[in-house]
Chain A
Amino acid sequence: EVQLVQSGAEVKKPGESLKISCKGSGYSFTNYWIGWVRQMPGKGLEWMGIIYPGDSDTRYSPSFQGQVTISADKSISTAYLQWSSLKASDTAIYYCARPPNVCSGDNCYMGGYMDVWGKGTTVTVSS
């Protein structure tokens, strides 16, 4: 079974750093992109960015570029989302999710949607 297992809830103070994780299992981790999605309390979904663990190709939403760092360790099939200095406005649920690979003959490319989701990591930033 394909699964994305996310790390547990975090409570942090403003200014602290944080790294949350998303471990993939049941598939070839290096061959699929993994994305991150934010959901602030009572609000909608926001795409943050995406990484290809095979070569660490990373793309960020302009809204999140410079605010977070997305990385992956393919040796342990884990993707990460990290902050160097948290703000209260970073309080949210963060989901990792995986787009499928869409293949036409020998050509495969990232599907433009996410069909496997983690359960989310709740991050609370409060003084």
Chain B
Amino acid sequence: SYEVTQPPSVSVSPGQTARITCSGDALRNQYVYWYQQKPGQAPVLVIYKDSERPSGIPERFSGSSSGTTVTLTISGVQAEDEADYYCQSVDRSGSDWVFGGGTKLTVL
């Protein structure tokens, strides 16, 4: 198995840019996926394959990758973006899925 690491919390003011990282040696060769989870709700996919955005997800959500670190960027943060964000990866066999510990995004 392997691990991926996220910061526990990130805080930004409305309109600013939030960046949430996900790090791990395995990420050099594996895609990362990002989920948003609001209290009492199931997770929602916001980014897949490091930087692709599903339909219906606002353009302010974007992703990028560099080496062993993948970053979720939320530009022009809005109050509704306050949530927990989880990164996730899976090995090539599809048998070893891992979630990061989650990052709580607070909009000040």
- Using a CB–CB distance below 8 Å, which chain A residues touch chain B? 33, 35, 37, 44-47, 50, 59, 61-62, 95, 97, 109-115, 117-120
CA distance A7 to B42 in the complex (A): 15
CB contact between B31 and one of A62, A95, A112 (< 8 Å): that residue: A112
Select the residue from A35, A97, A111, A112 with max chain B CB neighbours within 10 A: A112
What residues of B have a CB within 8 angstroms of the CB of A118 in the complex? 42
Query: In the bound complex, what is the Cα–Cα distance between A110 and B30 (angstroms)?
Result: 14
Interface residues on B, range: 20 to 34
Chain A residues near B84: list those with CB within 8 A: 44
Q: Which of B21-29, B58-66, B91-99 contacts A (4 or more CB under 8 A)?
A: B91-99
List the B side residues contacting A45 at CB < 8 Å.
35, 37, 43, 86, 88, 99, 102
Proximity bits, B26-47, A CB within 8 Å = 1, else 0: 0000110101010000111100
Chain A residues in 8 Å Cβ range of B45: 113-115
B95 near A46 with CB under 8 A, answer: no
Pair B48/A113 contact, Cβ less than 8 Å: yes
- Asked if B42 and A117 make an inter-chain contact with CB atoms under 8 angstroms apart, the answer reads yes
A112 adjacent to B95 (CB under 8 Å): no
Q: Are A47 and B98 neighbours in the complex by a CB distance under 8 Å? A: yes
Residue of B nearest to A35 (CB): B97
Q: Is the pair B42, A95 in contact by a Cβ cutoff of 8 Å?
A: yes
Report the bound CA distance from A114 to B98 in whole Å.
Answer: 12
Decide yes or no: A117 and B31 within 8 Å by CB, A44-B102, A59-B94 being known contacts.
no
Known contacts A44-B86, A45-B43, A95-B43; is-contact A110 B94 (Cβ 8 Å): yes
Q: Contact at A61–B97, with CB atoms within 8 Å?
A: yes
In chain B between 40 and 80, which residues have their CB closer than 8 angstroms to a CB of chain A? 42-45, 48, 54
